[in-house]
């Protein structure tokens, strides 16, 4: 394949533009905050599951509290009823002794249940505090993710603007190069990442490897318009 020398040199301009675009794409894919977002996002299910579990514990503990409250209320009703009997003129002396004993037993039981109530209320308070703490962590993590997404969005917007400028420049350069040469360049670029390099002082600028003396002699003997390729990385060599 042959191409005018000035056209071949445009490949170096094209390659520089492509490497700039490639560099920006790499920076986007490897944005330092993307990994941070992945790590934070991975924490969300665990935090949310903890909140659900705490909610379940609170619900069950409140049921336990309700049962204790009912027991206390029932005992209070029995004490009130016994007090009525105690104050009744129809109650015999023997019954009075039994009633007084029963009231004492009931009040003792009532006191125990009230202590249980207090203990359950403390448990609920601790669970509510724990839940509040987890909700704060959840809010904080979500807020951090949102801030990082905004930062990335701004960085990507800037990067895309730069790519757009380079793409416009690229299209201008491509329009000046023969289609056959462009097709070859694109094929090599897609396969190896770099489509063209400068051949200078016996070295390929793409792979930075010294060309063999025999290959250099062969290149020097060729028509300047002959398109040549590096014997090592196979990119198009543009003679300086």
Q: Give the pLDDT confidence of 219-229 residue by residue, as tens digits.
A: 989 999 999 99
Contact between 14 and 173 under an 8 Å Cβ cutoff? The reply is yes
Average pLDDT over residues 177-198: 94
Kindly state the tokens that stand for 189.
């670029």
- Decide the pairing of beta strands 236-239 and 203-204: unpaired
Cα(116)–Cα(64) distance, integer angstroms: 10
Band (96; pLDDT cuts 50, 70, 90): low
User: At what angle are helices 5-29 and 93-174 packed, to 10 degrees?
Assistant: 170
127 phi and psi, to 5 degrees?
-65, -40
The predicted model gives 158-175 an average pLDDT of: 97
The pTM is what? 0.69
In the predicted structure, residue 71 carries a pLDDT above the cut 90:
no
**C-alpha 179: how far from chain center:** 43
Q: Each residue of 115-151: pLDDT tens digit?
A: 889 999 999 999 999 999 999 999 999 999 999 999 9
Q: Which domains does the chain have, with CATH numbers?
A: 1-30+178-240 (1.10.287.1490), 31-161 (1.10.287.1490)
Average pLDDT taken over every residue of the chain: 91
* Band of pLDDT at residue 91, cut at 50, 70 and 90: low
Exposed, middle or buried by CB within 10 Å (0-12, 13-18, 19+), for 125?
exposed
Phi, psi at 33, each rounded to 5°: -85, -15
Query: 90 pLDDT exceeds 70?
Result: no
At residue 195, the pLDDT reads 94
Tokens 């704060």 identify what position?
136
Residue 228, φ and ψ in degrees, nearest 5: -115, 160
Question: Tell me, what's the pLDDT at 112?
Answer: 85
Lowest average pLDDT, out of 142-146, 159-163, 190-194, goes to 190-194
Percentage of residues of the chain with pLDDT beyond 70:
95
């Amino acid at each position: 394949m042959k191409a005018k020398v000035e056209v071949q040199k445009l490949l170096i301009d094209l390659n520089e533009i492509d490497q700039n675009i490639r560099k920006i794409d790499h920076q986007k894919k490897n944005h330092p905050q993307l990994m941070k977002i992945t790590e934070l996002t991975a924490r969300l299910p665990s935090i949310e599951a903890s909140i659900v579990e705490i909610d379940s514990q609170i619900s069950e503990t409140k049921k336990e509290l309700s049962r204790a409250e009912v027991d206390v209320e029932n005992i209070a009703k029995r004490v009130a009823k016994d007090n009525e009997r105690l104050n009744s003129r129809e109650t015999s002396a023997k019954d009075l002794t039994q009633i007084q004993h029963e009231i004492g037993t009931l009040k003792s039981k009532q006191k125990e249940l009230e202590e249980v109530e207090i203990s359950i209320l403390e448990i609920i308070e601790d669970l509510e505090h724990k839940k509040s703490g987890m909700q704060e962590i959840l809010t904080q993590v979500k807020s951090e993710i949102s801030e990082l997404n905004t930062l990335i969005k701004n960085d990507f917007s800037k990067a895309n603007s730069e790519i757009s400028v380079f793409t416009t420049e690229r299209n201008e350069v491509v329009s000046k190069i023969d289609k056959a040469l462009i097709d070859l360049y694109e094929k090599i670029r897609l396969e190896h990442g770099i489509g063209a390099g400068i051949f200078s002082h016996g070295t390929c600028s793409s792979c930075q490897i010294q060309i063999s003396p025999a290959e250099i002699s062969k290149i020097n003997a060729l028509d300047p318009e002959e398109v040549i390729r590096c014997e090592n990385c196979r990119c198009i060599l543009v003679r300086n």
